[in-house]
Amino acid sequence: MEILLNGKKMEIPEKATIGELLALHKLAPVRVAVERNGEIVRRADFYTVRLAPQDQIEVVTLVGGG
Amino acid sequence: MMDKQLKIGPYTLSSRLIVGTGKYATLELMQQCHAASKSNCVTVAVRRERLVDKNSGRNILDFIDPKKYILLPNTAGCFTADEVVRVARLGRELLDGSGYQGAQWVKLECLGDTKTLLPEPLGTLEALKILVADGFHVLVYCSDDVMLCKRIKEAGAAAVMPAGSPIGSGQGVLNPNAIRIILEELKHNDPAYPIIVDAGVGTASDVAAAMEIGVDGVLLNTAIAGAQDPVKMAQAMALATEAGRLAGTAGRIPRKLYATASSPWEGRING
């Protein structure tokens, strides 16, 4: 199914969880925060929330800044 | 005599210098500069995870020891209250359960445009009110307008952080008298209320001068990261912070137009 991940279209397995999406991209859950359709998904829910077609997902992390 | 430690919201800082984590040539250099600065509080930004090019993907947190540093997430690069609130909440989510201190506060930055990077006062106030209602301790980057700073304090900011001059400009504190009036107005009957000069520092004397005026701390990034020898400059900033704080609280002599001799007048052999 197709989702929008950080503004880019992407094919992922049907009913994948947020946790599985992160694993696909080798991202450590403890180092990211995730928004699904504008709502924050708590880290504790990464492996229970299943994605749906056309979901808009934002995955952010901390970077250098001032 | 031991100086009182700076407390902002739920966090106590061991140094009055808060430093950034941006613009360093390498993460190793950043780590060395943080150590040399003697700061225990570093500010970080929130950005989209890069999904390609992950091979170079070393995370900045691998270079910040959670036992030594408190993280101050910021909303750098936001231009509306909505953007600020969204990024602040993501920052809190990133820090919550991460092993780092810092989930309870945020540095609010709401900018007006990309050329000046000056703070946008109305968006700043609007975002502040939402974040305070949401339980954040908010450190507010703002212009050095006294009345605006008063409104920001009244709206529940944990600290007010007037800019010395535009971000990254290295011009120092352009209007020290505005900072003096802000200190008088906001600390009246509330001497512990934290005022931090944020942005514009170019070199160590800017930090010392700000601290002498009586601000509680200084936040800077580019002045260290952009120096030719960043580690040496970080050390200079640590010393300047301490020197400025000591001088500012020591009670300086008044300025006078004419000289006053330091050696006794009496007993001169040619007298």
> Looking at the partner chain, which of A25, A31, A58 has a beta carbon nearest the beta carbon of B59?
A31
Question: Mind listing the pLDDT tens digit for each residue in B177-205?
Answer: 999 999 999 999 999 999 999 999 999 99
Q: Is B58 an 8 Å CB contact of chain A?
A: no
Find the residue in B nearest to A63 (Cα): B45
Mean pLDDT of B46-56: 76
Cβ contact A65–B97 (<8 Å): no
Interface residue A36 vs chain B (CB under 8 A): no
Please indicate whether residue B107 is annotated as part of the active site. yes
Q: Which of B45, B54, B86 sits opposite A63 (nearest CB)?
A: B45
Cβ-Cβ contacts under 8 Å for B216 (sequence gap 6 or more)? B6, B16, B159, B194, B195, B196
Residue of B nearest to A39 (CA): B86
Q: What is the pLDDT of residue B270?
A: 87
- Name the closest residue on chain B to residue A34, using Cα atoms: B90
Extract the tokens encoding B31.
Answer: 């780590």
- Residue B2 pLDDT exceeds 90: no
Neighbours of B106 (CB within 10 A): 31
Is 80 exceeded by the pLDDT of residue B22?
yes
Give residue B56's pLDDT.
58
Tell me the per-residue pLDDT of A9-51, one tens digit each, with 9 for 90 and over.
999 999 999 999 999 999 999 999 999 999 999 999 999 999 9
pLDDT at B54: 55
Quick count: other Cβ atoms within 10 Å of Cβ B143?
Answer: 17
Asked whether the beta carbons of residue A63 and residue B76 sit closer than 8 angstroms, the reply is no
Could you tell me which residues are beta bridge partners of residue A10? A3
Question: CA of A6 to nearest chain B CA: how many angstroms apart?
Answer: 7
**Which chain B positions have a beta carbon within 8 Å of A25's beta carbon?**
49, 51, 54
Measured distance CA(B222)–CA(B266) in Å, rounded: 53
Provide the pLDDT for residue B50.
86
Please say if the pLDDT value at position B27 is more than 60: yes
Residue B52: the pLDDT is 67
> Model ipTM?
0.95
* Residue-wise pLDDT tens digits, B216-239: 999 999 999 999 999 999 999 999
What is the full DSSP assignment across A8-56? EEEE--TT-BHHHHHHHTT--GGG-EEEETTEEEPGGGTTTPBP-TT-E
Taking all residues of chain B, what is their mean pLDDT, rounded to a whole number? 95
Averaged pLDDT, B136-155? 98
Residues B87-105, mean pLDDT to the nearest whole number: 97
Closest CB to B21: pick one of A33, A35, A65: A65
With beta carbons less than 8 A apart as the criterion, state whether B249 and B215 touch.
no
Q: How confident is the model at residue B3 (pLDDT cuts 50, 70, 90)?
A: confident
